[in-house]
Amino acid sequence: MALEDYSCALVTGASSGIGAAVVRSLRARGLTVHAVARRRERLEVLAEETGCECHELDVRDTARVFEVIGALDADIVVNNAGLGRGFGNLHEARPEDIDTTIDTNVRAAIQVLRASLPGMLARNRGHLVNMSSVSALHPLASTVYGASKAALHLLSQNLRLELAGSRVRVTEICPGRVSTEFFDAAIDEPEKRSALKVTGITELAAGDIADAVIYALDAPWRVNVSLIELQPTEQIFGGMSLRPAN
């Protein structure tokens, strides 16, 4: 089951960045693509550019998720919607930002999968792609965001076990720094946002992540690309920090 075996794809968080890049790549391969996001104006521009089908939808609205996504019979689901409100220290995070991040990155992601899986299992084919993060794999300075993506990491692994014996594959993509609007949506304070956005390195482009998604989807049916971790050449994880207590 490579890409030529599929006909219909769903991409959440599709109005910009990684989601929009994945929509473009899938449309270039001739698939019918349903692009889901909250920003209708952005979706309409993407639809005019690519010919995708657009659906204005907040994935936190479970009833609408099942109404819209459950009816699509998608062969491919790219579970990309996510955000990073409450990015930073846990004790400084606003309770509402914690709820927004967990609701979007964890609860909504699970509901999208729940709405999509019955049709895939009935047709005995499909591919689930969960957009995670290096924050799911390495300790980084964002407790809430990292916890939400770590949940998606274990969800992806458990799903592979649950779906054993079916022809539904599961892939997790874990990008590092990508040049997107992530911090614009995550952080309200201009100075803090600017400090995090300006890195001095060459970050990944959204198209780089779309290429990784296409690689996983296009593998022959005998191959499940379980996890792809990719980061800028100039971004390195690991090491040790020793900090005496005050």
Query: What amino acid positions are annotated as catalytic residues?
Result: 145
The Cα 57–Cα 115 span in angstroms is 14
Length of the chain: 246
Find, among 225, 218, 214, 213, the residue nearest to 175 by Cα. 213
Backbone phi and psi for residue 78, each to the nearest 5 degrees, phi listed first: -105, 100
- Within a 10 A sphere around the Cβ of 243, how many other Cβ atoms? 5
The Cα 99–Cα 91 span in angstroms is 14
Which three-class secondary structure state does DSSP give residue 36?
strand
DSSP type of residue 163:
T
SS3 content of the chain, % helix, strand, coil (to 5): 45, 15, 35
The Cα 154–Cα 136 span in angstroms is 9
Beta strands in 112-154 (DSSP E): 126-131
